[in-house]
Chains A and B, each alone.
Chain A
C-alpha cells in the first residue's frame, strides 16, 4: 500500500524506532518566539546543556511587540522583560534573532516562509499552535509546548507517536467574494473544534490546487482550530515558484536535487487515509463566526442561531453561553451585527495578498463613522511591499490605521486590544472569550469581509457595498 504525504515526511525523519516507544523524530527547522521560550532556555541553563543545532533555529519577536512607536522602549514592563530575556538567551546560545525594528522581523509564521526557510518535506516546529501554517508547503509542521521546545533545543529531535491522517477534499472553485478563509471556517464548522484531534489534515482537490501560497497558508494555519496537529498541502509548481529566489532557497545543483525530492512529496494513489471529508468550494458563501470558538460559524446570510436548535445538550449549553458572552439574540441577521473595530492582520491573514484583497475593497471609500480599522502587516517585509504598492495610502485614506508588524490584536498581549464589551470583525484565527482583550467580542472573518465591514459598520461582504464613488 502507498503512503500519504504526511507518512512520507514522517518516515523520512525517524531517527530511532523501538517497540512500545514513540518514534524519535528529527526536526529540520525550529522557530522560536519570546512567549514560549524563556522557561525552555532556563531549563537548558539549569541542566548545563547547549543548543544542539543553532543553525536550524531562528527566533523573532512578535507577540509582545507594540505596532506603534516601535523605536521607543516597550512601555509594558513584563512585555519588555520577555523581549529582553529572548535577546539575552539568543545571544548566549548563538541563535539568530530578528528583533523589533529589524527588516526581517515579523510574526514567526510569516517570517519563515518569506525567508524561504519553510520548504517542502521539512519537519518544522515552534512553541506556537499556528505552526501548522508551514504545512502549506508540504512540510510536517506543528506546535509544541515549552518542554518540547527545550527538548528540541537540546536534541534537535522529539519523541512522538504517529498521527492519523485525514483527507479534506475541497472540490469545485471558489466564487468571487469568497476566499481561503471561508474554506477553512466552513471546514471547522463541519468537523467541529475537536474533529481533527489526533490527525494531520491533508487539503486536496481542485480548489486547493488553484490557490496561491498565501491562501494555502491561511487554510493550514487554522487546522489547529479543528483540533488537528497539523495541516498539509502537497507541493506543486505554485510552491516551487514561491520558494525560488528567496534568501534561503537552494541554488544551482542544490535546487535541482531539492526539486527532485519535493516532487515525490504527494500522497500515493493507493494510499489510504484514516478519515475523509469533502466540501464544495463552489457552494461556499462568505463565512463568519457568531460564537466563542472557531467552529461556531455560519454563512454571512444566516442569522444568529437559536441554542435550542442544536442536537446535543453540550452544544446547546455551549451556544447559550457563547451568545450570552457575545451579547447576541437568536434570529438576528448576522449582517445586522455592528462592530466597533475591524482588525486586518495576524498569521492567518496578514500577508501581502490579504492586504491587497482588503485594499481593493476599501479603495476610494471612507470607513463607517465610529469604527476603528487596524491594518497590521504580518511582517516588516510585507509592510514594505505594501507601501511600494501604495496600499498604505489606500488604507489611510479610508480612515484605517497603518501599523508596524506583529501579532497585534490577534491576542490580548500587547497594547492593541479590545476594551471590555467591544466587538470586532477580525481576520485572525481565534474568537475565544477575552482573546483580543478582556471582555472583547470577536467575529472571525476573511479580509474581504473585514474590509466590507469597515465600510458599512456591520458584518458585510463586498457584494453588499454600493459601487465606490471616486474620491478625487
Chain B
C-alpha cells in the first residue's frame, strides 16, 4: 500500500447528506469480479444528470470530496471505496461517516477525515465561490487546509499510523500467528464447524 502523508487536490463540494453506498456505486456494478476499473461506476445514477457536480469543470478532476454528514451509509460494499479511489479521490471529508465505510476506506488507503460540520460549510462556500480551489488533507498534522481555513481533522490513530507507514492489515496480523494458534487450542469443542 502506498504511504499517505498529505495530499493536495481540487475539492468537490457535495452538499448531499446521507449519501448511501447504493448511490456511490449502484448494485449492478457489483457483479464484476475484478478489483480495479470502477471509475465509471462512481455515482453512476447521478452522473446521468448534467448538473451533477462531477459533470462540471473543474470539479470533474477533483480528488478531495467534501460531503454532507452520514456519508457511506447502507450496504457494506467495499466497491464504494474502490470506485472513489479509481475515480481519483484520495480523501473524503464529512462530519460523520458510516462505520463500515470508514473501516473499508482505511484498509484501502482512502482517507476519511472527520471535520466539524461548521468547517465543512465554510469549505463548501469557498469551493463553490472559487471552483477549482485546492484542499490539503494533512494526515501528519491531522488538519485540512483550504484557502485561509485551517480545520482540525479527526482520524483514527491506528489507521493514521498504518496509512502513513503504508502497511497492509493481513501482513500485520500474520505476525501474531502464535497468538491465534494459542487461542484456538482453548476454544470450546461445542462450537460449530461447517465441515464434518
| Real binding pair | yes
A contacts, CB < 8 Å to B: 15-16, 20-22, 24, 26, 28-29, 35-36, 38-39, 42-43, 47, 49, 52, 54-58, 63-64, 76, 78-79, 81-82, 85, 94, 96, 116-117, 119, 122, 127-129, 143-148, 150-151, 154-157, 159, 161, 193-194, 197-198, 227, 229, 248, 250, 254-255, 257-258, 261, 293, 314, 317-318, 411-413, 430, 432-435, 438
Interchain CB contact under 8 A, A254 and B189: yes
Interchain CB contact under 8 A, A147 and B194: no
Interface string of B102-144 (1 = CB under 8 A from A): 0110011000000000000000000000000000000000000
Chain B residues within an 8 Å CB radius of A128: 76
Name 16 interchain pairs, CB-CB below 8 A, sorted by A: A16-B179, A20-B158, A29-B192, A42-B34, A116-B192, A122-B191, A144-B76, A145-B81, A147-B169, A154-B170, A156-B184, A161-B156, A161-B158, A248-B194, A250-B192, A432-B22
Interface centre among B32, B108, B169 (most CB of A within 10 A): B169
Interchain CB contact under 8 A, B100 and A193: no
Q: How far is the CA of A22 from the CA of B45 in the complex (A)?
A: 37
Which residue from B17, B30, B99 sits with its C-beta under 8 Å from A318?
B17
CB distance from A341 to the nearest CB of B (A): 18
Number of B residues near A (Cβ < 8 Å) is 58
Chain B residues within an 8 Å CB radius of A145: 76-78, 81, 100, 103-104, 107
Chain A residues within an 8 Å CB radius of B179: 15-16, 24
Interchain CB contact under 8 A, A155 and B173: yes
Which residue from B74, B157, B173 sits with its C-beta under 8 Å from A432?
B74
Interface string of B21-36 (1 = CB under 8 A from A): 0110011101111110
Segment touching A, from B3-11, B53-61, B65-73, B83-91: B65-73
CB distance from A110 to the nearest CB of B (A): 16
Interchain CB contact under 8 A, A39 and B34: yes
Which residue from A21, A194, A261 sits with its C-beta under 8 Å from B69?
A194
Which residue from B32, B75, B108, B191 sits with its C-beta under 8 Å from A78?
B32
Closest to A82 in B: B31
CB distance from A117 to the nearest CB of B (A): 5
Closest to A158 in B: B173
Chain B residues within an 8 Å CB radius of A227: 70, 73, 98-99
